[in-house]
Amino acid sequence: MTDLLHVILLGIIEGITEFLPISSTGHLLIAEKFGLGARSDLFNIGIQAGAILAVTLIYWKRIWQLLTQWRDPANRDYLLKLVVAFLITAVLGLIAVKLGFKLPETVTPVAWALVIGGLWMIAAERLAARQPERSTVTWKVAILVGIAQMIAGIFPGTSRSAATIFAAMLFGTSNRAAATEFAFLVGIPTMYAATGYELLKVVKDGGAAHEDWSALVIGFVISAIVAFIAVKWLLGYIRSHTFTPFAIYRIAFGVALLLLVPAGA
């Protein structure tokens, strides 16, 4: 029962933090260090896929429009930019894996990433506010979103959503709703691909028999439900609010971790 409760809590944490710009990977690492138990890479990526499923359901009309009406020039252009952003992330991510980049296993680098990312978000929000209102996604935005997504993937605490949304807002798509939509849509194939890659690796290495599949399924479902609620709320929130409160939370949380957790713990 204790382990089940831990799985449910991890699913809730993932569902809340995956698309809010506060870093899901960082929060999961911290939660595991503070008593919820270390989980496999497949579990962590699998519950992230649950959150991605929630966004897929929320944006299914937009996705269907892009796939079925791709002959329309505007839809085709947008779809191609999504594909390019995804491919940039995939290629750079594979290069990072080949070079041996691994997620940190201590809290300190995550805490610093939370603080630095929060300060960066405040500055970026102010810079974006000075730009003229633009909803168009340019090729520069698509390329930078792909790069930002990869960077966030190898530095827990950065936040994939924060990195991609602000990359879009600062370099051409200043409208929050438009920047958020593109960032979230790029995340859909990215996280599904990451989950598939990790699953194939586990099967190839013979680790499937040792994976706690029931925990993975429960975490996946909880994450999907919670993420659906969180994203619905966020999309309504950003219509009339800035991301600054999330930045303040990141800074406060990161500072608290630096003060309370010994370096290297």
The pTM is what?
0.87
**Biggest CA pair distance of the chain:** 57
Q: For residue 198, give the nearest of 82, 64, 51, 47 by alpha carbon.
A: 47
Task: With cut-offs at 50, 70 and 90, classify the pLDDT of residue 237.
Answer: very high
Taking the C-alpha atoms of residue 114 and residue 22, their distance in angstroms, rounded to an integer, is 7
Contacts for 251 with CB less than 8 Å, ≥ 6 apart? 114, 115, 118, 119
Q: For residue 233, what pLDDT band results from cuts at 50, 70 and 90? A: very high
14 has a pLDDT exceeding 70:
yes
The first and second tokens of residue 136, run together, are 């168009």
Instruction: Say what the pLDDT of residue 152 is.
Output: 87
Give the span between the Cα atoms of 187 and 185, in whole angstroms: 5
Helices marked H in 99-133 — which ranges? 107-129
Q: Describe the crossing of helices 2-17 and 41-58 by its angle, rounded to 10 degrees.
A: 50
CA neighbor of 226 nearest in space, from 1, 2, 9: 9
| 110 or 206, higher pLDDT | 110
Token digits of residue 264: 């290297």
